């Protein structure tokens, strides 16, 4: 029985009050706040977060495929999904592919994974979508867009929601686009693209799938309709005949924002977190046409899973105080350069060190059990040579052993680095930088967890590594 086996979302801790954006331009705020990726986050790191949340304590060696969808993938050429699959410590035999170029990439990817499992080609398929799109400074989109990610594990055994069917239509129209050199999302005239693009096709795909499977709007427990803004969403719901009070999944616009390709999976995740056995979920998403899917929630949904819910991710936040620094974090403004780096990256070194720096493997000595990160060929304790097992430690909880707030090491727009030594479960020491944290709140013994982040730019490629942060994902480890 093919369906969704697990799911998990991710919303960056940082939020920007839309009033800060509006005030900078003398405009009105659309209200609420938007999520924003930290200076060390991008669509790859957010996908890792969502996927780790989704995978939870599942055996990662059982995953046979991984797809990644985004319109803001850090690499245009070079597969992003191989990087994420490696960071997730999946097997090397895993099937990988990137989906992109359209806001429909998230649902297209999900459909492909469902079809792969349904066909018997694979048994477990993980998909993750993330986006961090840029609206022009001052634009409505700058306020409505948010950054986020979600991951879904598709499988053939004990799904929490079975895949009941899908329906798709294409729409060739220049409505929302970016040329290769564009930083910001371009749109044609608002009324045209909403009426003839989004609304027309969402109506058509929802009506179409209901008709295809002989369902009425009243049969649907929750309709999941990502939308570019609240007003458009409200109008669509009304025109389709769903009850806005009981049947409609929150589009997450007011306090998170419109997170591009990730939005359908983020809303699906939020819907599953509140679903009951027997519920029928209808997911439809627009982007150069529309995809619709129907899922039926099973009694597996009640099985408790240690994941961090969307509601908790929304609640757990840090208000970001500066629009100027937001622009700098997104490379829209160039702030004064900080201290230069002494260590230059090398693709060769990064490749050689991938087991520790990407897979987060520590060595555990077979003779004395001493664990060290990164992998040490000669045991620190008993000096046995090449006699160790590699152990993934990215999912281990830890506590701050010591720290300092370093004003020299950071970026000039994000200057304080909390240099931290943490003791992880098993006595392992991890040295890293604390992120997503108010510097003055760090204390010894504070519970922390590992998060995969960008470290710095250099040599023309992105450099990622693990950081520490105050526990957020929590039990999801």
Partner 1 sequence: MGNIKDKVAIVGMGCSKFGERWDASLEDLAIESAYEAYEDAGVGPEDIEACWVGQVSAPVAGIGATSIAEALKLRDIPVIRNENWCTTAHIALIEACIAVASGLYDTVMAIGVEKLKDTGYPGLGTGRGMSPVLEARRTAPGSFGLIAKRYFETYGLSNEEGKETLAKIAVKNHDNGSLCPKAHFHNKITLEKALNAPIIAWPLGLFDCCGNSDGSACAIITRADRARDFRPDPVYMKGYGISMDSLLPHLRPGFDWLHFDALIKSSHKAYEMAGIKNPREELDVAEVHDCFTITELAIYENFGFSPRGKAKEDIDSGFFARGGGLPVNIDGGLKCFGHPIGASGLRMTYEIYKQLQGKADLPERQVKNPRLGLSHTFGGPPQISAVAILGNEKG
β-bridge mates for residue 444, sequence order: none
**In terms of CB distance, is 5 or 450 closer to partner 1?**
450
Q: Spell out the residues 6+ positions from residue 88 whose beta carbon is closer than 8 angstroms to its own.
A: 48, 51, 52, 55, 60, 63, 66, 126
Distance of closest approach, residue 465 Cβ to partner 1, in angstroms? 5
Interface with partner 1: number of residues (CB under 8 A) = 48
Which of the residues 320 through 339 are near partner 1 (CB under 8 A)?
Answer: 338-339
Name the segment binding partner 1 (CB under 8 A); options: 11-19, 175-183, 386-394, 462-470. 462-470
CB 433 within 8 Å of CB 467 = yes
Comparing CA positions, the residue from 83, 127, 131 lying closest to residue 269 is: 127
Comparing CA positions, the residue from 467, 457, 350 lying closest to residue 419 is: 467
Distance of closest approach, residue 340 Cβ to partner 1, in angstroms? 5
CB 229 within 8 Å of CB 253 = yes
CB 144 within 8 Å of CB 34 = yes
Name the segment binding partner 1 (CB under 8 A); options: 71-79, 144-152, 231-239, 414-422. 414-422
> From CA 93, how far away is CA 178, in angstroms rounded?
34
Binds partner 1 by CB under 8 A, chosen from 412, 456, 461, 475: 456
Name the segment binding partner 1 (CB under 8 A); options: 216-224, 297-305, 365-373, 386-394. 365-373
Distance of closest approach, residue 367 Cβ to partner 1, in angstroms? 14
Binds partner 1 by CB under 8 A, chosen from 190, 244, 277, 458: 458
Binds partner 1 by CB under 8 A, chosen from 244, 349, 367, 412: 349
Total residue length of the chain = 477
Q: Is 463 in the site for partner 1 (CB under 8 A)?
A: yes
Name the segment binding partner 1 (CB under 8 A); options: 79-87, 289-297, 388-396, 408-416. 408-416
- CB burial of 13-27 (b: ≥16 within 10 Å; e: otherwise) equals bbbbbbbbbbebeeb
**In terms of CB distance, is 388 or 430 closer to partner 1?**
430
- CB burial of 58-85 (b: ≥16 within 10 Å; e: otherwise) equals bebeebbbbbbbbbbbbeeeeebbbbbb
> From CA 126, how far away is CA 22, in angstroms rounded?
39
Chain centroid to CA 196 = 30
Q: Is 385 in the site for partner 1 (CB under 8 A)?
A: no
Q: Is 461 in the site for partner 1 (CB under 8 A)?
A: no
What character string, x for contact with partner 1 (CB under 8 A) and - otherwise, covers 388-407?
-------------xxxxxxx
Distance of closest approach, residue 182 Cβ to partner 1, in angstroms? 30
Q: How many CB atoms lie within 10 A of CB 274?
A: 14
Q: Is 204 in the site for partner 1 (CB under 8 A)?
A: no
CB 111 within 8 Å of CB 97 = no
**In terms of CB distance, is 178 or 405 closer to partner 1?**
405
Q: Is 74 in the site for partner 1 (CB under 8 A)?
A: no
DSSP 129: E
Q: Which residues bind partner 1 (CB under 8 A)?
A: 338-346, 349-350, 353, 356-357, 370-374, 376, 380-381, 401-410, 417, 419, 421, 427-431, 433, 444, 455-456, 458, 463-465
């Amino acid at each position: 029985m093919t369906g969704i086996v697990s799911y998990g979302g991710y919303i960056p801790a940082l939020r920007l009050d839309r009033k800060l954006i509006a005030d900078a331009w003398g405009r009105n705020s659309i209200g609420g706040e938007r999520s924003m990726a930290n200076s060390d986050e991008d669509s790859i790191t957010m996908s890792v977060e969502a996927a780790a949340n989704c995978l939870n304590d599942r055996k990662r060696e059982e995953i046979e495929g991984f797809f990644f969808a985004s319109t803001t993938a850090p690499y245009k050429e070079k597969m992003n999904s191989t990087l994420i699959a490696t960071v997730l410590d999946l097997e090397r035999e895993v099937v990988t592919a990137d989906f992109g170029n359209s806001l429909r990439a998230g649902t297209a990817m999900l459909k492909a994974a469902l079809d792969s499992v349904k066909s018997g080609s694979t048994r477990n398929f993980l998909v993750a979508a993330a986006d961090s799109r840029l609206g022009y400074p001052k634009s409505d989109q700058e306020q409505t867009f948010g950054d986020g990610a979600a991951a879904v594990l598709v499988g053939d055994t004990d799904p929490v929601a079975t895949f009941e069917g899908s329906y798709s239509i294409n729409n060739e129209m220049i409505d929302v686009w970016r040329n290769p050199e564009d930083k910001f999302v371009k749109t044609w005239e608002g009324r045209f693209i909403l009426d003839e693009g989004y609304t027309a096709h969402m109506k058509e795909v929802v009506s179409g799938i209901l008709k295809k499977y002989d369902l009425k709007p009243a049969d649907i427990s929750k309709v999941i309709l990502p939308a570019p803004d609240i007003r458009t969403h409200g109008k669509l719901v009304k025109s389709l005949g769903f009850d806005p009070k009981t049947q409609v999944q929150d589009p997450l616009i007011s306090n998170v924002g419109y997170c591009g390709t990730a939005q359908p999976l983020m809303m699906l995740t939020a819907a599953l977190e509140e679903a009951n056995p027997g519920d029928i979920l209808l997911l439809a998403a627009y982007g150069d046409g529309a995809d619709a899917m129907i899922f039926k929630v099973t009694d597996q949904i009640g099985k408790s899973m240690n994941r961090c819910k969307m509601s908790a991710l929304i609640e757990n936040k840090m208000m970001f105080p500066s629009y100027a620094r937001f622009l700098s974090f997104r490379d829209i403004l160039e702030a004064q350069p900080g201290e230069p780096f002494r260590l230059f990256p090398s693709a060769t070194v990064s490749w050689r060190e991938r087991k520790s720096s990407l897979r987060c493997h520590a060595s555990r000595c077979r003779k004395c059990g001493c664990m060290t990160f990164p992998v040490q060929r000669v045991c620190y304790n008993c000096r046995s040579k090449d006699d160790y097992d590699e152990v993934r430690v990215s999912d281990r909880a830890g506590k701050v052993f010591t720290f300092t707030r370093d004003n020299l090491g950071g970026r000039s727009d994000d200057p304080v680095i909390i240099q931290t030594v943490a003791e992880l479960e098993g006595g392992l020491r991890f040295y890293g930088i604390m992120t997503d944290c108010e510097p003055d709140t760090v204390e010894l013994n504070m519970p922390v967890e590992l998060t995969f982040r960008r470290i710095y730019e250099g040599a023309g490629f992105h450099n990622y590594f693990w950081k520490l942060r105050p526990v957020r994902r929590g039990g999801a480890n």
